[in-house]
Amino acid sequence: MRKIVITGMAAALALGLTACGGDGDPAAAPPSSPTGSAPAPSESTTPDGGSTPGGGSTPGGPSNPQGPGGSGTPGSRHTPLAQEGGQQITTKWGPLRYLAPGKYTVGNVAFFTTTDTVVYVAGSTCPDGSPTPPDVSKCTVDGLDQWAKAAPHNASVRFSGQTAVRITETQ
């Protein structure tokens, strides 16, 4: 019994220390396995001297849920600050930045353009240097690379997957 209490206290202390051990950097990846921890025992001794495989909880006694590492601690999931990869972003607003030919970022989202991408400009000149059609301000992506490199532009971008469908310059 004394061994169980000491082991439980050591585990609680170790978990308490690891919970406060972060440096506050959300970009840092959590370690794949805790360092310095001993594996959980696979058998435990019952009061009559026998052993029960798998950890030995007694009927009616407290249960001990196991986390992903099997350490006897309840599993917890770290919630990332950024969106997960499976979620689609439909619209994003921010500074439009050039990355590579046909590839840009708005805010922290990278995207591609196609010949079907429509650009709406706030001024009277399209990215390719031609005047905008009257009452429309609708342009093609021709010259968008140089336009994005030349000066900062705030834009609202509507996406379909990783491709921009519409880029609207905002003031």
pLDDT of residue 103: 94
Q: Look up residue 108 and give its two tokens.
A: 């922290």
Beta bridge partners of 52: 44
Neighbour tally for 88: CB within 10 Å: 9
Based on the domain organization, do 56 and 118 belong to the same domain?
no
| Residue 13 confidence (pLDDT) | 66
Asked whether residue 68 falls in the same domain as residue 33, the answer is yes
| Pairwise CA distance, residues 145 & 118, whole Å | 14
Same domain, 163 and 96: yes
pTM recorded for the entire structure: 0.49
Can you tell me the distance from the alpha carbon of 138 to that of 120, in angstroms, rounded to the nearest whole number?
5
CA 61 to chain centre: 39
Residues 124 and 157 in one domain: yes
Domain that includes residue 55, residue range: 29-76
For residues 108 and 69, state if they share a domain.
Answer: no
pLDDT value for 60? 54
DSSP assigned state of 131: B
Place of tokens 């909880």: 57
Per the domain annotation, does 81 fall within a domain? no
pLDDT tens for the chain, 171 residues: list them.
Answer: 778 878 877 777 666 655 554 555 555 555 544 444 444 444 444 555 554 455 444 555 554 544 455 554 454 444 333 455 567 778 999 999 999 999 999 988 999 999 999 999 888 788 888 888 877 788 889 999 999 998 888 999 999 988 999 999 987
Tell me if 123 sits within 8 A of 63, measured CB to CB: no
Look at the block and give the residue holding tokens 């490199």: 149
DSSP single-letter state for residue 36: T
Within-domain flag for 153: yes
Q: Which of 49, 76, 103 is the last residue of a domain?
A: 76
Number of structural domains in the chain: 2
Do 104 and 150 fall into the same domain?
yes
Same domain, 50 and 118: no
Q: Give how far Cα 57 sits from Cα of 4, 53, 62, Å.
A: 12, 10, 7
Residue 138 domain-assigned (yes or no): yes
In this prediction, residue 133 carries a pLDDT of: 80
